[in-house]
C-alpha cells in the first residue's frame, strides 16, 4: 500500500461515491504515488466503480471484490472453490452492463442488434447458466452433509465461530491433538468445515467443528454462498464464539460476529464466549481485559491454544455442557440381561448401581439414542433429573 485517502460524508455520492473534488484529489494522488490499483473500503455500485475508473484511469476494486479474491486464493477443496466461484459470479452479474456500455451504442438497422448488446446477453446467459450449475452441485454437497449430520445427531456437537484469524483452527488442532489440522496466521485460512472427535474427560467425547471466519462488512454474496457450510453451526448443540483477546478491537470483532450470526438465524443457539490468545495479551493489559470481559460477557472462558494446558478450562466446560445436556435416569434391567447392562456402562455415565431383588438398578446419564434402545427393549427408564437447557451468554 502506497497511500490512503479518506472523506467524511453524510451519504455516498450516487455517481462516484466520493465527492467530485475528492475524486480529483484521488486522481492527483494516484499520479503522484504511481499507484496501479485503488481499493475502496466499502461496496461500490456498478455505476460508481465504472465512473471512478473513467476519471482516475486506474483499476478500481471495492471491499467485496477484494475479499472475494482473497477467498479465491484460500479455497482448497472443491466445495470451497464452488462456493467462492458462485459468490464471484453473483457479484459480477449486475456489473456486466457497465462493462459493455460503450458497445451498446453501436446499432444496426431495423431489427438488428449491436455487438455490445449481443455480447452482454451472451455473457449474462453463460453466467446465469454457470450459477445454476454451481447451485445444483452445492445442493448435492449439502444433501451429502445432511446425511453425515443425521448419523452424528446422537453425539454432542460443538461449532467454533468467530472473526477471521481469532485462532479457531488452533483451538481445534490442540483439543483434538491433530497436527494435520491446517493452521496459519492469515485471514480466511479456513474455508471448509472440519470436524474432529475430541475427548473431554470422564469417557465423554464431543464432535468439534471449525467453520469459516467472519469479517466486518462481509459481502452478502459470500454469506449466501457459505450458508451450506454454516449449516454445521446451525445444527450444533453449542456454539463457541472464539475471540482474539490480544486484538485491540476485539469488542468490534465480537459485535461483527454476533451480527452475522443474527443474520444467519443463529442468534438463538446456545453459545459461550471464548477469549483466546491470552498468552499474547501484554501483562500490563491482562487485568483490564479480564475485567472488561467479566463486565460485558460474564462466564466467558480465558484460554490459550498455544500454551501447554491453556485449553483445559475449555475442555472442562465442554464436558460439563455435555453432562447438562443429558438427563439423569434410573434404569431397571433384569440381572440376567448382561448385554443391556453392558450397553448402559458403554454408552453412558454410570453414577450409581445397586441390586433390587432380580433387577439391576442403574442411575446414569444417557443420550436420546441409548434411551430409545432401552425403552424399545422393554426396560423401565425413569427420568430423575431432566436435562438442563443452556443459557445464552448475553
Which residues belong to the annotated binding site for GTP? 162-169, 188-192, 210-213, 276-279, 304-306
Strand-by-strand arrangement of the 328-334 sheet:
349-356, 359-365, 328-334, 380-385
CA–CA gap between residue 38 and residue 27 (Å, rounded): 10
Mark the binding-site residues, compressed into ranges. 162-169, 188-192, 210-213, 276-279, 304-306
How many CB atoms lie under 10 A from the CB of residue 46? 16
How many CB atoms lie under 10 A from the CB of residue 378? 9
Residue pair 211/231 in contact by the 8 Å Cβ criterion = no
- Alpha-helical (H) ranges within 152-183 are 168-176
H or E element, residue 386: none
Residue pair 173/305 in contact by the 8 Å Cβ criterion = yes
Enter the C-alpha cell of residue 313: 478450562
Mark the binding-site residues for Mg(2+), compressed into ranges. 169, 190
* Residues near 326 by beta carbon (within 8 Å), at least 6 away in sequence: 348, 349, 365, 366, 367, 387
Amino acid at each position: 500500500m502506497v497511500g490512503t485517502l479518506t472523506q467524511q460524508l453524510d451519504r455516498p455520492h450516487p455517481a462516484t461515491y466520493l465527492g467530485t473534488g475528492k475524486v480529483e484529489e484521488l486522481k492527483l494522488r494516484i499520479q503522484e504515488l504511481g499507484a496501479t490499483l485503488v481499493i475502496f473500503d466499502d461496496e461500490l455500485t456498478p455505476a460508481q466503480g465504472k465512473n471512478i475508473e473513467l476519471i482516475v484511469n486506474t483499476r478500481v476494486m471495492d471491499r467485496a471484490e477484494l475479499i472475494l479474491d482473497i477467498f479465491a486464493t484460500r479455497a482448497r477443496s472443491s466445495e470451497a472453490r464452488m462456493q467462492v466461484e458462485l459468490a464471484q459470479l453473483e457479484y459480477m452479474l449486475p456489473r456486466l452492463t457497465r462493462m459493455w456500455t460503450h458497445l451498446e451504442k453501436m446499432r444496426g438497422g431495423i431489427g438488428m442488434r449491436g455487438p455490445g448488446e449481443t455480447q452482454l446477453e451472451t455473457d449474462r446467459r453463460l453466467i446465469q447458466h454457470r450459477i445454476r450449475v454451481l447451485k445444483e452441485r452445492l445442493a448435492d454437497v449439502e444433501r451429502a452433509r445432511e446425511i453425515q449430520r443425521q448419523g452424528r445427531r446422537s453425539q454432542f456437537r460443538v461449532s467454533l465461530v468467530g472473526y477471521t484469524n481469532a485462532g479457531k483452527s488452533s483451538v481445534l488442532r490442540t483439543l483434538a491433538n491433530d497436527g494435520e489440522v491446517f493452521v496459519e496466521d492469515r485471514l480466511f485460512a479456513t474455508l471448509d468445515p472440519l470436524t474432529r472427535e475430541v475427548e473431554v474427560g470422564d469417557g465423554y467425547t464431543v464432535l468439534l467443528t471449525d467453520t469459516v471466519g467472519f469479517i466486518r462488512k462481509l459481502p452478502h454474496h459470500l454469506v449466501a454462498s457459505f450458508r451450506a457450510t454454516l449449516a454445521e453451526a446451525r445444527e450444533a448443540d453449542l456454539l463457541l464464539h472464539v475471540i482474539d483477546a490480544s486484538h485491540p478491537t476485539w469488542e468490534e470483532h465480537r459485535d461483527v460476529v454476533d451480527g452475522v450470526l443474527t443474520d444467519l438465524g443463529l442468534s438463538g443457539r446456545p453459545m459461550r464466549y471464548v477469549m483466546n490468545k491470552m498468552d499474547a495479551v501484554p501483562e500490563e493489559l491482562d487485568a483490564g481485559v479480564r475485567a472488561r470481559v467479566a463486565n460485558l460477557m460474564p462466564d466467558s472462558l480465558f484460554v490459550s491454544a498455544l500454551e501447554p494446558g491453556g485449553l483445559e478450562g475449555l475442555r472442562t466446560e465442554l464436558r460439563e455442557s455435555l453432562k447438562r445436556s443429558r438427563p439423569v435416569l434410573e434404569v431397571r434391567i433384569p440381572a440376567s440381561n448382561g448385554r443391556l447392562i453392558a450397553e448402559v456402562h458403554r454408552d453412558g455415565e454410570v453414577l450409581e448401581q445397586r441390586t433390587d431383588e432380580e433387577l439391576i438398578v442403574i442411575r446414569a446419564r444417557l443420550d436420546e439414542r441409548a434411551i430409545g434402545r432401552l425403552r424399545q427393549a422393554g426396560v423401565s427408564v425413569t427420568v430423575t433429573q431432566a436435562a438442563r437447557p443452556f443459557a445464552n451468554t448475553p
